[in-house]
Amino acid sequence: MEVEKAMKDIDWKSMEKNIQESMEKIDMSKIQDDIDKAMKAVDFQKIQLDMQKAMKEVDFKKIQLDFQNSMKELDLEKMKVDMSKELADIDTDKIKAEIEKSMKEVDAAKIQADVNAAMAKVDFDKIKVEMEKVKDIDFKKIQDDMAKMKPELDKTMAEARVSIEKAKEELQAYKGLIDGLAQDGLINKKENYTIEYKDGTLTVNGKKQPAEVVKKYSKFLKDRKDFTIKKDEKDFNIDND
């Protein structure tokens, strides 16, 4: 019952108005202009030159040597002694005892050996080769390919614009029919209703409408094939056969 009440409280007229306003706000020309400007602003040749220059300035050998020198200067034994001295200032005997026990179990030599072994496995030459492959990217070709895509993109945008305009016209036309039937008292837009047009016969909520009603809306109906408009507590749907 709560769902049914909530559905009845929905302002369908406001919803239709919001949909129409949203459709009218879509500026396909601006979207296409923004895409064109973005494409023109991309300087692929400059990007390629900048990347090649940056790659030439990378000294992988120096990086490797600096890293190895830094590791040699790391005195784990001294760190162990310094930490032990700091522990002497701790007044809590239990904490001091537990930390000193942990420090005794630290195998500084093994840590150093593990670090050296890990460094030995780093293949800086391979890393350099992989990064230099970036220089082989043909940015000019990418730019040309994107330029070739532009006509197809323009075509797609034009078709989308036509489809949107057509959809707006269709929505406005159906809205006119629904508003008219509501004004005539044949439907209540806040309640459930079904409008069906088939084989030249207009039926509203299961009741066949007289010829004068069909004639009144003939401007809308004459260019339409069969359709059904249905609104209930779950959905609002327009079905064109």
Domain that holds residue 52: 42-137
> Last residue of a domain, which of 121, 137, 153?
137
> Last residue of a domain, which of 137, 154, 188?
137
Helix (H) or strand (E) holding 238: strand 236-240
**Residue 148 lies inside a defined structural domain of this protein:** no
Residue 187 CB coordination number (10 Å) = 21
**Residue 115 lies inside a defined structural domain of this protein:** yes
Q: pLDDT at residue 137 above 80?
A: no
Residue type, 157: M
**Residue 155 lies inside a defined structural domain of this protein:** no
Instruction: Yes or no: say if 192 and 199 are a contact pair by the CB < 8 Å rule.
Output: no
**Residue 34 lies inside a defined structural domain of this protein:** no
% of the chain exceeding 70 in pLDDT: 61
Residues 207-229 have pLDDT tens digits of 999 999 999 999 888 888 889 99
What three-state secondary structure class fits 237?
strand
Instruction: Yes or no: say if 241 and 225 are a contact pair by the CB < 8 Å rule.
Output: yes
**Residue 111 lies inside a defined structural domain of this protein:** yes
Verify that 18 and 97 share a domain, yes or no. no
Residue type, 218: S
Rounded Cα distance, 188 and 179, in Å = 10
Rounded Cα distance, 221 and 125, in Å = 76
Q: pLDDT at residue 6 above 70?
A: no
Verify that 47 and 133 share a domain, yes or no. yes
Domain count across the chain: 2
Verify that 104 and 179 share a domain, yes or no. no
**Residue 130 lies inside a defined structural domain of this protein:** yes
